[in-house]
Homo-oligomer: A and B are copies of this chain.
Amino acid sequence: MNPEEFRAFGHRLIDWIADYRAGVGERPVMSTVEPGSIRAQLPSSPPARAESMDAVLSDVEKILVPGLSHWQHPRFFGYFPSNGELSSVLGDYLSTGLGVLGLSWQSSPALTEVEEVTTDWLRQMVGLSDKWSGVIQDTASTSSLVALICARERASGYSLVKGGIQAVPAPLVVYVSAHAHSSVDKAALLAGFGRDHVRTVPVDAAYALRPDALAEAIRHDIASGRKPCAVVATTGTTATTAVDPIGPIAGIAREHGLWVHVDAAMAGSAMILPECRALWEGIEGADSIVLNPHKWLGAAFDCSVYYVRDAEHLVRVMSTNPSYLRSGVDERVKNLRDWGIPLGRRFRALKLWFLIREQGVEGLQRRLRRDIANAQWLKSAIESTPGWRVLAPVPLQTLCVRHEPRGLAGEALDLYTQAWADALNRSGEAYLTPATLEGRWMVRVSIGALLTEREHVEGLWSAMQRAAAGAQ
């Protein structure tokens, strides 16, 4: 495709996206297509000859869009928000259009330096000290894997350049909350610790990790000849946005030399609000943090920022230095390939840089405060309605909700909860995530899509009540 064709189709695509975003609220939120139905409409073999872009764009409209659940919809309350603010989208467009890569600083200096500047802006925005250095990874899953590998290497005296974790004298142990994200558990298994060496620490009534239980688990492992290696604390768990007490956890960790990784993938965005920072009090005692601007904050996916206190350690674990990647300035620059797993890196910082500049810190703060206020409004509405319960504290913008009609309990209540949530999702009116809490199904309402105003939350609440009534 030459630049003039790109210009023509690019303008059409921009208009299409502008129209899509302007009208997304009119679409059913969740796709209800059957498994295999999209695939069945596409040719099973690639085209030998070039096709027209008209044909491609027409298939997008006719075949693909009905197969999408619309994450940018104002009544999307599922999972956590994944906001692609349109200014950030443009930043990503610039990155893809330029098509430059950061294999090393030298291979595109601005790519590295804008990433340094932008992750440092974000550091200041969330109130971290200048002891922290940031780098953009794809997702929190990867950031947490990097963190646990770094923990493994610190605890084992850099086993990777010797016999590996297969040759450690005493097995290394990782501690996670029973409410930690599934990716943390996955990271520990991929890093080679093994399920037998991942301790699930119990939580308190507010679903936060219990420091006393952590201390006890550590003592037990030490007494049994194992070596405590890392603890993962969460600021804003996935099920309920519970906040683990980082200060006390870091205190215990320090005593025994454990690495403290903080998963603030979701709630880290809220730290741009000074009034929320008490939620991660003690954060300066951590070794690494992951914070996803591609969630609530609005950076186009994927943009997960990983902060470390000891960047030299990270580089020592991750670095490679083949001749074809060396340059004369290596001693004076950051080579971000040594800050994570992939060698090739997009110019990802642009989408964060565009976002922060176009919105300003105050603009971002205003939007997050709107969402927190909407969550508090919904909490009050639910709590004042008989039969409805909010099941966990609401420190931010996610509510765990159940409707408990008289006489329904146990599995019957589970079936009822799943039925009304499913009916609501299938109606296309709104999108919620059913999940379990203490072994029972409930419904998560995660407020914070870009377009979600009070009226949409009010509409959701009506729709929830209708769906629940309909499922009885």
- Whether, in the assembled complex, A223 has its beta carbon less than 8 Å from a beta carbon of chain B, the answer is no
Given A86-B5, A192-B164, A197-B163, check contact A139 B31 (CB 8 Å). no
Tell me, in angstroms, the Cα distance from A182 to B10 when the chains sit together. 37
A60 partner residues in chain B, CB cutoff 8 A: 94
Q: Is the CB of A35 within 8 A of B162?
A: no
Of A107-115, A253-261, A275-283, the one contacting chain B is: A107-115
Closest to A89 in B: B96
Can you pick out 19 interface pairs between chain A and chain B where the beta carbons lie within 8 Å of each other?
Answer: A3-B18, A3-B21, A17-B94, A36-B332, A39-B113, A44-B120, A46-B356, A47-B360, A48-B362, A50-B357, A53-B87, A64-B110, A68-B98, A71-B108, A79-B101, A92-B96, A160-B190, A161-B189, A167-B194
- Whether, in the assembled complex, A239 has its beta carbon less than 8 Å from a beta carbon of chain B, the answer is yes
Kindly list the 6 A-B residue pairs having the minimum CB-CB distance in the complex, ordered from nearest.
A164-B194, A67-B110, A84-B99, A17-B97, A192-B192, A10-B14
* In-complex Cβ contact of A422 among B47, B110, B172, B328 (8 A): B328
Tell me, in angstroms, the Cα distance from A182 to B146 when the chains sit together. 18
Q: Is the CB of B11 within 8 A of A341?
A: no
Q: How far is the CB of A75 from chain B (nearest CB, A)?
A: 15
Majority DSSP secondary structure for residues of A touching B: helix
Contact with B along A233-277 (1 / 0, CB 8 A): 000001100000000000000000000000000000000000000
Tell me, in angstroms, the Cα distance from A324 to B183 when the chains sit together. 13
Q: Is the CB of B6 within 8 A of A19?
A: no
A441 partner residues in chain B, CB cutoff 8 A: 323
- Whether, in the assembled complex, A213 has its beta carbon less than 8 Å from a beta carbon of chain B, the answer is no
In addition to A13-B90, A50-B362, A166-B197, 9 A-B residue pairs with Cβ atoms within 8 Å of each other are A4-B22, A35-B332, A71-B100, A92-B96, A93-B96, A161-B195, A166-B168, A182-B321, A190-B318
Contact with B along A15-45 (1 / 0, CB 8 A): 1111111100000001101011111001011
Given A48-B362, A89-B99, A164-B165, check contact A141 B56 (CB 8 Å). no
* In-complex Cβ contact of A121 among B45, B92, B346 (8 A): B45
Contact with B along A323-365 (1 / 0, CB 8 A): 1110011001100000001111010000001101111111100
Q: Is the CB of A1 within 8 A of B192?
A: no
- Whether, in the assembled complex, A103 has its beta carbon less than 8 Å from a beta carbon of chain B, the answer is yes
Closest to A9 in B: B90
* In-complex Cβ contact of A106 among B42, B69, B149, B300 (8 A): B69
In the complex, which of the residues A165, A168, A323, A434 has the most CB atoms of chain B within 10 Å of its own CB atom?
A323
Given A109-B67, A361-B46, check contact A324 B161 (CB 8 Å). no
Q: Is the CB of A51 within 8 A of B357?
A: yes
* In-complex Cβ contact of A42 among B1, B114, B196, B197 (8 A): B114
Q: Is the CB of A342 within 8 A of B139?
A: yes
Q: Is the CB of A192 within 8 A of B166?
A: yes
